[in-house]
C-alpha cells in the first residue's frame, strides 16, 4: 500500500458547516440520509469536494436539489469527488449499509442485538460519504429511527431535542450537538440498555445529567464508573479550570469493541471491560484501570474534542496529552485516598502509580522504538492509520508532555494550557501549535525540545562520575545518543531533564551545590542538551553515590556503571521511591540475565548470595509500604527481559526465571508466610490503595511460595481460593496455584470456570491465565495445545476482540518460552490466526500480527522459523492494509 505523508497535508477546499444525519436503522439494510452544507474555503487551493466512502452503497446524491451535472461527479479509489461551482452548496446523499455484515467493528455494527458505532480514525466513511478527516469540523444534527422493542434506547452526541413513537412499532429520537466536531467523534447507540443516573453541578453551578448505560443485569457493576466520572469532572475543574460543556454526558458499555474506549462527544462508548466492576468480578487493577480510562475519555472532551487534531499525524497532540492528564489524575486520586495513612503513604501510592506507568513504557514502548515499527511520536508517514494507535504515540507522547510539565513547572504548564485553549478552542491544530503556547506562556525557547516530536528511538544516556577529594567536588558527565531507526540514521541531541540526587555513605541524601545554583536542595533538575555535558557538585566530604533520573524524569535508557554493591545500597537507601524500585529491578535483571547465560551454556544455576541478602533486606523492611514492596520484589517482566538480552532467547530466560522464583520462594518461605499473615485485609472489600497494596503483597507471596512448592504456601493459596469474596484474592490464589507444579491447579481452574462460565469478563481472565502459564513440570501438555483446546470452549469466540486478546494475545505476548517452543509450531499457529482474523477484523488481526515484529532480535534457529511464516502471510492475496503494513515492515 502507498504511504501517506505528513508533508502532504492540503487544507480542505470545502468546509462543512452543518451536517444533518437521518438513520433508518435495520440490521441488514440501514438507510442513511445525510445533508451537508458546504462552504468554499477561500484560504485553500480550489478543488472538487472530496467525500470518502468504504463498503457502503450509494443510492442517491443531489447537489442543491438536482442530479449533479454530467461529468461533475467522479468515482475515486476511496470515495467520490464532486466539482462544485459558486461559494456554497447543499449536498444530499442516501446510502445503504449492512451492520450485520460488518465484522470489522469499525463504522456501524451490531453487538448482542444493539447498534453501535466506532468512527476513529476512519470509520465514519463506512457509514456515509463525507470529508472524513479530522479538520472537517461540522455541527451535527442526528435523527435515529429504530424498532422500539429491540432498541428502546436511542442515543447520539449532544442534547436530546425530540423523541416519540412512529408507525409499525418503531420510534425515533433527534439529537443536536451544539459544538462543531470532526466525523471521528460522531456516535450512535440504539440498543436495549438500562442506566444509572446522577445529576451534579459543575463548578459554575450548571446542573448536568450523567448516565452510565449497560445491559440489563449489570446495573450493580456500574457505580464505580459513575464515581470515576464525577471524580474526573472535579479534577479537571480544579486542576485545569475545565468544565463539562454539555447538559448531559453518557458512557455506554459494549461487549464487542476493538479498543479500550472512545471519547465521542457527550457519548463515550466503552469496552465493557473498562466500565463494569463489582468486588467479586473485578480486581483492584480492574478498578484502577476503569478509573483511569473513564478519566482519559472524559479529559478528551477538552484535549481532543474542543481542540482536535488537524490531521492524523498529530494524534499524539490529543493522546499524549490526555494520557499525561489521566496519569496525573490517577496519581492524585491514589495519593488522596492513601493520605489517611499519612504523608509517606500518600507519597508511596503516587510512586507506585509512576512505577506502573514506567513498566508499561519500558516493556511495550521501548520494544516498539527498537523494532521495525519505530516511529516518532509524530510520525512522518503511515500506510494504515489504525496501526499508529501505538505505545509510542500514547505512552512516549505522555512522557514528552510530562517533560514539559517538569521543565516549566505545574504553574507554567497550566499557563501554557490556558493559552492553548484561548487561541485554539474550536480548532483542529498541530503539535507545534501546542508547544508554541507552552513556549509563549513561559517565555521559553522550545525549538530544540521539538526534536522529541520528530526523532524515533529511545535515547541512551550514559553517566560517569568522578570525585576529587582535594577540591571536595564531584563531576558528573552525561552523554546522550539516540540509535538509528528505520529511515532515520542520524539523530540530534535532545533536551533531557535529569533529576539528580547524591547519596552519602550513611544512605542519606546530600545537599546539592552546583556552581550555577547553590540552593542546597537534595534533588536537582539538570538539563542535558548537548551530546556530552559535565556538571560539577561541590562541598562534598565523601564520594557520593549518584541517583539519576529520579521519578524517571525522561523516557531514556540510563546506562550506569554500577557494581552489585552499589545497586544493593541504592535498593536499601535511595530516598526516591522510583529509583529505589529501579535499583531493585536492575539488580534482579542482572541476576536473571546471568542465570539465563548459565542455562544457555548448560551450567548449573546458582543465585548469588549478595542478591539474596539484598532481597531479604527489602522483604523484611516493614518501613516500606506493602504496595511498594510488592512492586520491588516482583521480578521484571519476561518480555522486558527478552528485550534486554543481546540475542533474545526465551528458553534459557524462562529457566532462569523459574530457578530464581523457586530459590526466592524457598529461601524466604518463612518471611513470605509472615508477610501473608500480617497483611490480611479484613472487612468488606473496598477499592483503596492501602488495601490493594496488602492484597498485592499477599498474592505475590503466594506466587513465590507456590513456585517453590512450599506446602504451607500451597495450603494458604487453596484456602484463599476456597473462600474468596473478592476477585483480587480469588484470582490471585488461582494464579498462584497455576504458577506451580501442584496437580490441584487443574481442579481449581475447573472450579473457577464453573463459577464464572456465564461471565464474559471474568472468563477473559481465565483464558489469559492459562495462555500465559509456565510449565513447571515436563509431563504437562504444551500451552499451545491448551490454547487450541480453549478455542473450542463455548465461552471463546474469535469474533470478540476481548477473547482474542485474552487467549491469543496472552499466548503470543506474555508467554515467550511457550510461544517460541523449539518445534516452531507456535509460529504456524500464529500465521493461521492472523490470516483467519484478517478476514473478519483487520484491526484485531494487525495487533496480533505485531507480536512477532521484533523477530530479528532472536536466535538464528528462531529467525529461520519465523521468517518462513512471515513470508507465508505476506504471500497471501487480499491482505488488509493493516496486516500488510506490519508484515512488510517486519520483513524489511
200-210 b/e (C-beta count within 10 Å ≥ 16 → b): eeeeeeeebeb
Best CA proximity match to 179, nearest among 143, 139, 206: 139
In which residue are the cell numbers 515467550 written? 816
Minimum CB distance to Zn ion, residue 320 (Å): 9
- Closest separation in Å from C-beta 394 to ligand DPP: 7
The length of the chain in residues reads 892
Residue 262 touches which of ligand DPP, Zn ion, none (Cβ within 5-8 Å per kind): ligand DPP
Nearer to ligand DPP, 134 or 730 (CB): 134
Least distance (Å) between residue 389 CB and ligand DPP: 6
Query: Closest CB to ligand DPP among 236 and 319?
Result: 319
Residues contributing to the site for ligand DPP (CB under 6 A): 120, 259, 261-263, 296-297, 319, 389
Q: Which CB atom, from 134 or from 636, has the smaller least distance to ligand DPP?
A: 134
Contacts of 663 (CB under 8 A, 6+ apart): 607, 612, 708
Between CA 402 and CA 354 the distance in angstroms is 12
Q: 509 contacts which partner out of Zn ion, ligand DPP, none, CB within 5 to 8 A by kind?
A: none
> Which C-beta is closer to ligand DPP: that of 105 or that of 879?
105
Grid coordinates standing for 252?
455506554
Q: Which residues contact 362 (CB under 8 A, 6 or more apart)?
A: 640
How many angstroms separate the CA atoms of 479 and 324, rounded?
Answer: 27
Can you read off the three cell numbers belonging to residue 221?
457493576
Q: Is 521 helix (H, G, I), strand (E, B) or coil?
A: coil
Distance of CA 231 to the CA centre of its chain: 21
Closest CA to 534 of 449, 460, 465, 469: 465
Contact pattern from residue 280 through residue 319 relative to Zn ion, giving x for each residue in contact according to CB under 5 A and a dash for the rest: ---------------------------------------x
The dihedral built from the CA positions of residue 392, 393, 398 and 403, taken in this order, carries a sign that is: positive
Closest CB to Zn ion among residues 390, 728: 390
Q: Other C-beta atoms within 10 Å of 124: how many? A: 29
Cell readout for 835 is: 490470516
Instruction: In whole angstroms, give the CA distance from residue 72 to residue 328.
Output: 52
Closest to ligand DPP by CB, 384 or 582: 384
Binding partner selected for residue 261 from ligand DPP, Zn ion, none, CB under the kind-specific 5 to 8 Å limit: ligand DPP
Q: Which stretch binds Zn ion (CB under 5 A): 252-260, 322-330, 602-610, 827-835?
A: 322-330
Residue reference for cell 468515482: 75
Query: From the CB of 300, what's the least distance to Zn ion, in Å?
Result: 6
Give the whole-angstrom CA distance, residue 485 versus residue 488.
Answer: 5
Quote the least distance from Cβ 228 to ligand DPP, whole Å: 15
Among residues 629, 479, 454, 657, which one has the least CA distance to residue 557?
A: 479
Which of 485, 491, 482, 488 lies closest to 370, judged by CA?
Answer: 485
- Closest contact distance (angstroms) between CB of 261 and ligand DPP is 6
Is 589 a catalytic site residue?
no
Q: Please, what is the minimum distance in Å from the beta carbon of residue 181 to ligand DPP?
A: 13
- What three-state secondary structure class fits 106? coil
How many chain residues touch Zn ion (CB under 5 A)?
Answer: 2
Q: Which of 291, 297, 562, 853 is catalytic?
A: 297
Query: What is d(CA 233, CA 228) in angstroms, rounded to the nearest whole number?
Result: 9
Nearest-angstrom CA–CA distance, 283 and 725: 11
Out of Zn ion, ligand DPP, none, which partner does residue 120 contact, by CB within 5 to 8 A per kind?
Answer: ligand DPP
Query: From the list ligand DPP, Zn ion, none, which binds 562 (C-beta under 5 to 8 Å, kind-based)?
Result: none
Q: Which does 259 bind (CB under 5 to 8 A by kind): Zn ion, ligand DPP, none?
A: ligand DPP
When CB distances are held under 5 to 8 angstroms depending on the partner's kind, the choice from Zn ion, ligand DPP, none that residue 835 binds is none
Q: How far is the CB of 301 from Zn ion (least distance, A)?
A: 11
| Partner whose footprint covers residue 659, from Zn ion, ligand DPP, none (CB < 5 to 8 Å by kind) | none
319 versus 356: smaller Cβ distance to ligand DPP: 319
* Nearer residue to Zn ion within complex by CB, 271 or 322: 322
Which residue, judged by CB position, is nearest to ligand DPP in the bound state? Answer: 259
* Interface with Zn ion (CB under 5 A): 319, 322
**Active site residue ranges:** 297
Amino acid at each position: 500500500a502507498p504511504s501517506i505523508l505528513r508533508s502532504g497535508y492540503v487544507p480542505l477546499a470545502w468546509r462543512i458547516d452543518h451536517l444533518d444525519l437521518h438513520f433508518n436503522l435495520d440490521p441488514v439494510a440501514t438507510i442513511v440520509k445525510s445533508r451537508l452544507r458546504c462552504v468554499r474555503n477561500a484560504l485553500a487551493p480550489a478543488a472538487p469536494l472530496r467525500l470518502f466512502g468504504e463498503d457502503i452503497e450509494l443510492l442517491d446524491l443531489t447537489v442543491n436539489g438536482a442530479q449533479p451535472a454530467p461529468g461533475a461527479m467522479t468515482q475515486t479509489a476511496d470515495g467520490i469527488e464532486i466539482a462544485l461551482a459558486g461559494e456554497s452548496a447543499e449536498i444530499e446523499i442516501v446510502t445503504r449499509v449492512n451492520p450485520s455484515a460488518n465484522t470489522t467493528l469499525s463504522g456501524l455494527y451490531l453487538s448482542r442485538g444493539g447498534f453501535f458505532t466506532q468512527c476513529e480514525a476512519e470509520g465514519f466513511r463506512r457509514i456515509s460519504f463525507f470529508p472524513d478527516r479530522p479538520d472537517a469540523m461540522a455541527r451535527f444534527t442526528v435523527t435515529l429511527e429504530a424498532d422500539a422493542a429491540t432498541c428502546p434506547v436511542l442515543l447520539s452526541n449532544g442534547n436530546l431535542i425530540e423523541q416519540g413513537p412512529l408507525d409499525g412499532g418503531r420510534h425515533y429520537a433527534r439529537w443536536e450537538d451544539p459544538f462543531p466536531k470532526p466525523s471521528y467523534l460522531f456516535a450512535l447507540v440504539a440498543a436495549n440498555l438500562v442506566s444509572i443516573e446522577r445529576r451534579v453541578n459543575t463548578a459554575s453551578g450548571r446542573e448536568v445529567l450523567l448516565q452510565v448505560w449497560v445491559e440489563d443485569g449489570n446495573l450493580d457493576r456500574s457505580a464505580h464508573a459513575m464515581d470515576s466520572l464525577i471524580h474526573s469532572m472535579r479534577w479537571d475543574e480544579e486542576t485545569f479550570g475545565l468544565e463539562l460543556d454539555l447538559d448531559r454526558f453518557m458512557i455506554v458499555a459494549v461487549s464487542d469493541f476493538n479498543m479500550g474506549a472512545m471519547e465521542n462527544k457527550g457519548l463515550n462508548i466503552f469496552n465493557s471491560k473498562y466500565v463494569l466492576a463489582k468486588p467479586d468480578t473485578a480486581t483492584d487493577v480492574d478498578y484502577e484501570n476503569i478509573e483511569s480510562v473513564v478519566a482519559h475519555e472524559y479529559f478528551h472532551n477538552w484535549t481532543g474534542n474542543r481542540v482536535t487534531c488537524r490531521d492524523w499525524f498529530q494524534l499524539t497532540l490529543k493522546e499524549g496529552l490526555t494520557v499525561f492528564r489521566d496519569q496525573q489524575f490517577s496519581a492524585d486520586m491514589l495519593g488522596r485516598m492513601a493520605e489517611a495513612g499519612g504523608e509517606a503513604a500518600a507519597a508511596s501510592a503516587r510512586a507506585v502509580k509512576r512505577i506502573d506507568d514506567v513498566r508499561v513504557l519500558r516493556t511495550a514502548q521501548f520494544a516498539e522504538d527498537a523494532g521495525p515499527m519505530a516511529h516518532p511520536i509524530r510520525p512522518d508517514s503511515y500506510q494504515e492509520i489504525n496501526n499508529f494507535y501505538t505505545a509510542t504515540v500514547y505512552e512516549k507522547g505522555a512522557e514528552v508532555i510530562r517533560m514539559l510539565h517538569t521543565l516549566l513547572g505545574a504553574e507554567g504548564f497550566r499557563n501554557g494550557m490556558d493559552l492553548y485553549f484561548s487561541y485554539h478552542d474550536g480548532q483542529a491544530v498541530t503539535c507545534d501549535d501546542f508547544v508554541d503556547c507552552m513556549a509563549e506562556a513561559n517565555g521559553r525557547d522550545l525549538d530544540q525540545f521539538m526534536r522529541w516530536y520528530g526523532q524515533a528511538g529511545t535515547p541512551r544516556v550514559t553517566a560517569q562520575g568522578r570525585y576529587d577529594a582535594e577540591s571536595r567536588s564531584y563531576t558528573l558527565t552525561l552523554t546522550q545518543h539516540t540509535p538509528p531507526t528505520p529511515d532515520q540514521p542520524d539523530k540530534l541531541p535532545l533536551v533531557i531533564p535529569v533529576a539528580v540526587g547524591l547519596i552519602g555513605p550513611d544512605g542519606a541524601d546530600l545537599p546539592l551545590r552546583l556552581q550555577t545554583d547553590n540552593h542546597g536542595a537534595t534533588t536537582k533538575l539538570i538539563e542535558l542538551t548537548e551530546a556530552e555535558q559535565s556538571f560539577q557538585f561541590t562541598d562534598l566530604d565523601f564520594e557520593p553515590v549518584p541517583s539519576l533520573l529520579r521519578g524517571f524524569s525522561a523516557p531514556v535508557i540510563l546506562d550506569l556503571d554500577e557494581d552489585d554493591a552499589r545497586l544493593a545500597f541504592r535498593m536499601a537507601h535511595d530516598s526516591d521511591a522510583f529509583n529505589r524500585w529501579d535499583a531493585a529491578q536492575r539488580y534482579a535483571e542482572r541476576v536473571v540475565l546471568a542465570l539465563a547465560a548459565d542455562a544457555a551454556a548448560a551450567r548449573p544455576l546458582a543465585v548469588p548470595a549478595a542478591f539474596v541478602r539484598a532481597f531479604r533486606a527489602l522483604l523484611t523492611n516493614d518501613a516500606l509500604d506493602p504496595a511498594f514492596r510488592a512492586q520491588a520484589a516482583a521480578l521484571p517482566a519476561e518480555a522486558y527481559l527478552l528485550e534486554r538480552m543481546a540475542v533474545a532467547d526465551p528458553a534459557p530466560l524462562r529457566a532462569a526465571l523459574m530457578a530464581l522464583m523457586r530459590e526466592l520462594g524457598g529461601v524466604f518461605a518463612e518471611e513470605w508466610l509472615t508477610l501473608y499473615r500480617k497483611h490480611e485485609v479484613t472487612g468488606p472489600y473496598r477499592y483503596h490503595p492501602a488495601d490493594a497494596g496488602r492484597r498485592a503483597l499477599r498474592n505475590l507471596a503466594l506466587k513465590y511460595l507456590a513456585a517453590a512448592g512450599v506446602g504451607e504456601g500451597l495450603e494458604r493459596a487453596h484456602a484463599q481460593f476456597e473462600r474468596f469474596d473478592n476477585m483480587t484474592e480469588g484470582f490471585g490464589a488461582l494464579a498462584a496455584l497455576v504458577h506451580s507444579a501442584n496437580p490441584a491447579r487443574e481442579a481449581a481452574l475447573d472450579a473457577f470456570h464453573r463459577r464464572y462460565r456465564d461471565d464474559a469478563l471474568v472468563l477473559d481472565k481465565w483464558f489469559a491465565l492459562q495462555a500465559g502459564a509456565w510449565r513447571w513440570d515436563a509431563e504437562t501438555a504444551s500451552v499451545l495445545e491448551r490454547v487450541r483446546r480453549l478455542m473450542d470452549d463455548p465461552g471463546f469466540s474469535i469474533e470478540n476482540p476481548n477473547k482474542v486478546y485474552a487467549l491469543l494475545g496472552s499466548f503470543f505476548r506474555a508467554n515467550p518460552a511457550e510461544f517460541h517452543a523449539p518445534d516452531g509450531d507456535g509460529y504456524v499457529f500464529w500465521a493461521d490466526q492472523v490470516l483467519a482474523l484478517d478476514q473478519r477484523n483487520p484491526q484485531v488481526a494487525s495487533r496480533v500480527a505485531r507480536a512477532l515484529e521484533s523477530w530479528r532480535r532472536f536466535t538464528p534457529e528462531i529467525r529461520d522459523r519465523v521468517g518462513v511464516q512471515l513470508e507465508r502471510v505476506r504471500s497471501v492475496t487480499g491482505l488488509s492494509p493493516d496486516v500488510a503494513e506490519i508484515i512488510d515492515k517486519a520483513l524489511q
